[in-house]
Amino acid sequence: MIARIRAALADAGAETSDFDLNPDVVLPAGRALRPAGVLAPIIEREGDWHLMLTKRSSALKHHPGQIAFPGGKQDDADADVIAAALREAREEIGLPSENTEVLGTLPIHETVTGFTVTPVFAHVRAEFEVTPEPGEVEEVFTVPLTHVMNPDNYIIQSRRWRGTRRHYFAVPYGPYYIWGATARMLRAWTEQMASPCPATDSCCRRGDTAPARCNLEQPRTSTLYAPHLVVVKFSFQTSRRANCSKTKSGLELVYWTDADPGAANLCSYKHGRGRDCCIAVVA
């Protein structure tokens, strides 16, 4: 599992934000954003892998009672956002930095509160004495990786915020309602882990002018996409853009038709500001 996580995080991926499911939001140019780092501590317990999360204190002014990664803004004394994430985890849950192995990071996630958050994934080598920070952390708990890595467990919900309806991801687990930025970053990680386009493959990306003819030698289904789609590897060929459509899941599919009439239809997917990869339409 650790090797798989490290390999997935080595892929560049794409930036995400709290606004990914709300394309009507126009962000002002030149807005001031502050760097922050959050830690996703991964620990093995009784043969199963778990993710450690926190429930924020209900007495806090900002985001009281919400589920979050341990983490916070980068201080002047922090060498970088990774150092900030490790420091915050030490302060918030008592995780010694020397008991961790940093596996990699996801691209930054922009929050509605004006932060660019870097999710840092780390292997917790051994059990430690969990110590919730008084006044900051109400509870520290774990979620099985099998739960957060299953895209079927993610739902899109909405609520009114500042007079406008806003949509967001949620991935509830038992009594814990994981939503908002935390769920969005976990969803991005889920997509990265299940991506059909690892760094070693040739994959179409957003902005490519020459999408590819798919190589159907190794097709595999993926619940990240609509049920009638199959993820495939491919080699580059010249093709032309054809049309767009949307599925009920909210994925926007951009199709291309190859110059060869007998070739399969191709497309890349866009989910908010997610990454693009090649997929083929199956009858």
Assess whether 237 and 188 both reside in one domain: no
Residue pLDDT, tens place only, 37-96: 999 999 999 999 999 999 998 777 776 789 999 999 999 999 999 999 999 999 999 999
What is the reported pLDDT for 195? 54
pLDDT one-digit tens code per residue, 79-95: 999 999 999 999 999 99
Other beta carbons within 10 angstroms of residue 176's beta carbon come to 14
Are residue 24 and residue 60 in the same domain, yes or no?
yes
Asked if the model's pLDDT at residue 274 lies above 90, the reply is no
Strand partners, 265: 257
- 178 with 263, same domain: the answer is no
Range in 135-139, 188-192, 217-221 the model is least confident about: 217-221
Q: Are residues 92 and 119 in the same domain?
A: yes
- Whether 169 and 54 map to the same domain: the answer is yes
Whether residue 59 is found in the same domain as residue 184: yes
Tally Cβ neighbours within 10 Å of residue 127: 10
Higher pLDDT, 260 or 34: 34
Write down which residue in 161, 193, 225 finishes a domain: 193
Residue 200 inside a domain? The answer is no
Give per-residue pLDDT as tens, 127-179. 999 999 999 999 999 999 999 999 999 999 998 877 788 899 999 999 999 99
Query: How many domains would you assign to the chain?
Result: 2
In a domain, 105, yes or no: yes
The answer, yes or no, to whether residue 17 has pLDDT greater than 70, is yes
Closest to 234 in 3D by CA, of 270, 208, 271, 207: 208
Residues 115 and 148 in one domain: yes
Q: Whole domain around residue 57: which residue ranges?
A: 2-193
The larger pLDDT score, comparing residue 205 to residue 175, is at: 175
Q: Are residues 45 and 149 in the same domain?
A: yes
| Same-domain pairing of 126 and 22 | yes
Query: Is 206 inside a domain boundary?
Result: no
How far apart CA 257 and CA 211 sit, in angstroms, is 10
- What is the CATH classification number for the domain harbouring 188? 3.90.79.10
The whole-number pLDDT of residue 250 equals 33
Q: How many residues does the chain have?
A: 283
In a domain, 11, yes or no: yes
**Residues 241-271 pLDDT 10s:** 333 233 323 333 333 333 333 333 333 333 3
More confidently predicted of 234 and 111: 111
Angle at 53 between CA 48 and CA 55, to 5 degrees: 140
> What are the respective helix, strand and coil percentages of the chain, to the nearest 5?
15, 40, 45
Residue 203 included in any domain: no
- The answer to whether residues 136 and 92 touch, using CB atoms and an 8 Å cutoff, is yes
Reduce the DSSP state of residue 82 to 3 states and report it: helix
Q: Are 220 and 230 in contact (CB under 8 A)?
A: yes
Residue 261: the pLDDT is 30
The helix (run of H) or strand (run of E) holding residue 193 is helix 180-193
Task: Among 166, 193, 220, give the residue marking a domain's end.
Answer: 193
Q: Is the pTM of this model over 0.85?
A: no
- Residues 90-128 have pLDDT tens digits of 999 999 999 999 999 999 999 988 999 999 999 999 999
